Copies of this chain bind each other. A is one copy, B any other.
């Protein structure tokens, strides 16, 4: 009976998959068949190349070139890290917004950088054959890493190369990136307009957010030439229109084994929640000290609130037995089919047990791995990175931690030396609270706690370290970086000495994890991917991993509870939601929006929804119609979609991506912000 039910579930899965707008597809393998059959859409190579080259990668998110002169549109919440770095107590651009009437007024972002995927090449065979020479999983991992480092080193001038693993190691691709390191702020609305409704309305639709920002990349102090930009649609997309979103989805976990998913559900996610809540609580406490403290803490709190709300939705999905049963049925189907082919079965079948065995050991180390960290403080993280940098760069390229490979050192240095502001008092509060919680979780005798605190109190150790550190000053960081291992060893900076004390502990945990978990899951994940290809063919996209992907669907409303949710909202809805709450926070309107009420055409669409299979990281992705025009900027998903980290969720369950409408952005630029030059540039007029 149970078998039969599992079979029914699977049939249901396979049948619906045939009609689903599923997947975050790589540009080397776009779902051309589905597009043609379901939507009659057959893009040319030029169409695909143009969309790829217009798709901009931000740190952890996406954007799009929208003029030939380096103009990029993205979400406000994507650019908020940039805007924050340009803000101070006296000039709060996050709160008040910004517009550069001329290019001369555009503000250069400290350590601002973005990149595009210039080109790519399949290197699977090189990496696999290197790994096959390894005698154990750990040995294979070392050989694989060395080969990857060698491939990355072979890179054209002006580009950065990275080997990217797809399908849990089933494929490896060499991606070549073009990087822009001069990014300037052009226009940003007030955060309250961009994030109207705050955390309450996050992951909710109907939605009313002006979540957009414009930046421009420069080369040689001139606006970069970006001929592969996408045109801005003045009208946007009507209901039913086919659209594609192109961007950098962060991470999915759809190809994980049941053992890996069960670990996430039972240990990983609850632990992650605890970590984030600890960090959020520290920032919240700090933010209550005053207006300036609130300004400093706000970006961090917002980001953590977003992460926590998303995690809760994902975890609810995992906790739903019906969903989990589907994953079990999927795995069972693959293994049953494999069992019918004895040669394949012998080769691949042990992979599941190997992963399950590795994961059975993880819970005993999970707390240590999660809490042995200085990540809650940016300054402490910098100190730790400097210490680790010298240890790693003393090794051959192929033996280093991936983030210290030659191909990544430029980005590492510019991030480390970024003049972006830090706030000592906030760092001190955050790290003190973190260390107190870590001690409470791990106990006073834990190696990390002993190394960090000895017998002292968190407030004492952290207070002195943050108060007395010179690392606030990028010049001090540079001196330690350039001074070599000796400079670090000699440093008496108390934050550096703290980092030196904990480094061996963190290194040992990482080493345990790489050997016992990562190496095992990579080797065996590769086998499972190969088994999947052998049984089903390569008819599904790989899990997302912060690299460029295409997803697609239609603009479409949905049913929720017993009523209909429309496919879009209008400016009418923005004023309704604000006034329905008597403009109580977080539903108040910035003055600019209030004042523009009589000028705005209130019927203009503001936000809209579509069935594309996006996930965190797709924020700022252009939503593109058949003609390659930008009809909106993706900025969120609704609640119904949150557990799509673990599986695709059918559109008839109401899962939708949420975008800012291209016409709504134009109307806001014209009537609220009076940015005529920017409108002209967008419309190419």
Say yes or no: is A602 at the interface (Cβ < 8 Å to chain B): yes
Closest B residue to A568 using CB positions: B580
Known: A204-B563, A561-B639, A639-B562. A602 touches B575 (CB 8 A): yes
Which of A206, A564, A575, A581 is the most central at the interface, judged by chain B CB atoms within 10 Å of its CB?
A: A564
Q: Identify which of B197, B203, B309, B573 contacts A580 (C-beta below 8 A).
A: B573
Q: Is A35 close to B, CB under 8 A?
A: no
A579 at the interface (CB under 8 A from B): yes
- On whether the beta carbons of B603 and A563 are closer than 8 Å, the reply is no
The interface residues of chain B lying within 8 Å CB-to-CB of A446 are none
Chain B min CB distance to A124 (Å): 42
User: Number of contacting residues on A, CB 8 A?
Assistant: 33
* A300 CB, min distance to chain B CBs, angstroms: 20
**Residues A575 and B572 in contact, CB atoms below 8 Å apart:** yes
Q: Which residue of B204, B557, B602, B639 contacts A572 across the interface (Cβ within 8 Å)?
A: B602
Q: Is A508 an interface residue (CB 8 A)?
A: no
Of B561, B564, B569, which is within 8 A of A576 by CB?
A: B569
Cβ of A582 within 8 Å of any chain B Cβ, yes or no, is yes
CA distance A20 to B284 in the complex (A): 32
Q: Which residues of B contact A567 (CB under 8 A)?
A: 580-581
Is B602 within 8 A of A200, CB to CB?
Answer: no
Of listed A202, A562, A575, A580, residue having the most chain B CB within 10 A: A580
How long is the Cα–Cα vector from A567 to B582 in the complex, in angstroms?
Answer: 9
CB-CB under 8 A for A579 and B575, given A201-B563, A203-B562, A561-B639: no
A171 within 8 A of B: no
CB distance from A215 to the nearest CB of B (A): 30
A566 at the interface (CB under 8 A from B): yes
Q: Which residues of B contact A563 (CB under 8 A)?
A: 197, 200-201, 204
Give the B-binding residues of A (Cβ under 8 A). Answer: 197, 200-204, 206, 238-239, 309, 557, 561-564, 566-570, 572-573, 575-577, 579-582, 587, 602-603, 639
The contact sample of 6 A-B pairs, CB cut-off 8 A, is A203-B562, A561-B639, A566-B577, A567-B580, A572-B579, A575-B602
11 A-B pairs besides A202-B562, A570-B575, A573-B573 with CB distance below 8 A are A197-B563, A200-B564, A204-B561, A204-B562, A238-B582, A557-B581, A561-B639, A566-B587, A569-B576, A573-B577, A573-B580
